Amino acid sequence: MKRTKTMFAVPALVCVLTSWAAVSPGGARLDGPVPGFKAVERTAAGERPDDAVLARPVALAFDGKEILVADAQECAIKVFAEDGSFLRSIGRKGAGPGEFSFPSGVCVSGGRIFVADKFNFRVQILDREGKPEGGFRLDFPPDKIYALGEGTILVTSNPSGRPIRENMLRLFDPSGALLWEGLASRSFGDPVYDTFRNMFLVCPDGSDGFFIVYRSEERAVLRFGPKGDALGGVPVDERYAFKPVRLPFKGPTKVLLGFCWASAFDRGRLYLLEPEAVDGRDLGPGRRVSVFGRDGRMQAVIDLPRRIHRFTVDGDRIYALDEEGELGVFEVAR
């Protein structure tokens, strides 16, 4: 059956994201142009079955062979080949083994699929074809999930909105044993403002640990080791600028400094998706990805043919979900 256009509405976030610090590691200002590249779409053409349609894709991962997309509305993990052609759908709505209730994150570790099964308060483990292989219960609704090597799973959560400090990161072994927790939420006195200020992105660096990118206000990327040990912040090149947005809150006007809409890490480089203005007021997903080294110095910018909402990188390939929930495969033309 011919695939119809997916109507996936991306919330208009009137306050998002951050910018990297304005100095090099030595403290000098960084000026001048950086190399620019364009990405060309390589998505396989042709008709797709109904199962391939993405209703509300909220996370994606690439394991070197296949693209896995968590579709929260369909309560399924949709699996695609490297060229974007559809392979299979895993799971259905429910609370039993192999069933999901708002799957919000997905990753692959040790050849197995790990799913953050949000409203079932658990992590499910499946084989590559979708056969249940266990999992573990949680006392919080998981949001995103990432593999650090093959022995550690990083699970994120969102703060409840209460004016208390709540840990938003937890490390587990594959059996569900808690290894570490940290990254406490912050309170600034306004629950809505707090929600935006606590938004963050995770960039796994394999067995070497992970990076945390706050989506607003913060001007440094945080580094953590594989056991959750804090390794400090990385200042970011000032050529990647803040994007201020006025927040329509009651009382005095608040301005949030926007940073990035989505991020990824690959082969020692950090990729940040710049947000763009929507209707001249809000910030939304953008078309430009800025590339940084581990020292925060900008190395290149990549322009995409359309706005993207989430993405992952593998060499010169960018696997992305656009603002309407369509999966795209892009290749950087050098």
Question: Tell me, what's the pLDDT at 3?
Answer: 42
CATH number at residue 214: 2.120.10.30
In a domain, 4, yes or no: no
In a domain, 272, yes or no: yes
Residue 149 in tokens: 């090597």
In a domain, 17, yes or no: no
In a domain, 10, yes or no: no
Minimal CA–CA distance to 142: which of 166, 170, 161, 163?
A: 170
Question: Tell me, what's the pLDDT at 30?
Answer: 52
Question: Tell me, what's the pLDDT at 109?
Answer: 94
Domain that holds residue 184: 36-333
Minimal CA–CA distance to 114: which of 168, 171, 49, 73?
A: 171
- 8 Å CB contact between 230 and 212: no
Which phi and psi angles does 118 have, rounded to 5°?
A: -55, -60
- 8 Å CB contact between 142 and 118: yes
124-135 residues labelled b (16+ CB within 10 A) or e (exposed): bbbebeeeeeeb
d(CA 334, CA 37): 7
> Cβ of 284: how many Cβ atoms within 10 Å?
18
* Interval 140-169: pLDDT, tens: 999 999 999 888 999 999 988 777 889 999
CA quadruple 291, 296, 299, 300: dihedral positive or negative? positive
Strand, coil or helix: what is 26?
coil
Question: Is the pLDDT at 207 greater than 70, yes or no?
Answer: yes
Q: What is the separation of C-alpha 293 from the centre of its chain, rounded to a whole number of angstroms?
A: 19
**Percent of the residues in the chain that have a pLDDT greater than 90, as a whole number:** 72
Minimal CA–CA distance to 192: which of 109, 132, 250?
A: 250
pLDDT band at 235 (very low <50, low <70, confident <90, very high): very high
Question: Is the pLDDT at 306 greater than 50, yes or no?
Answer: yes
β-sheet bridge partners, residue 139: none
* Interval 31-88: pLDDT, tens: 678 999 999 999 998 778 888 999 999 999 999 999 999 999 999 999 999 999 999 9
Question: Tell me, what's the pLDDT at 31?
Answer: 62
Query: Rounded mean pLDDT of the chain?
Result: 88
In a domain, 79, yes or no: yes
pLDDT band at 281 (very low <50, low <70, confident <90, very high): low
Q: Which helix (H) or strand (E) holds 272?
A: strand 269-273
In a domain, 267, yes or no: yes
Question: Is the pLDDT at 183 greater than 80, yes or no?
Answer: yes
In a domain, 207, yes or no: yes
* Interval 236-264: pLDDT, tens: 999 998 988 887 666 677 888 999 999 99
In a domain, 23, yes or no: no
In the chain, the number of structural domains is 1
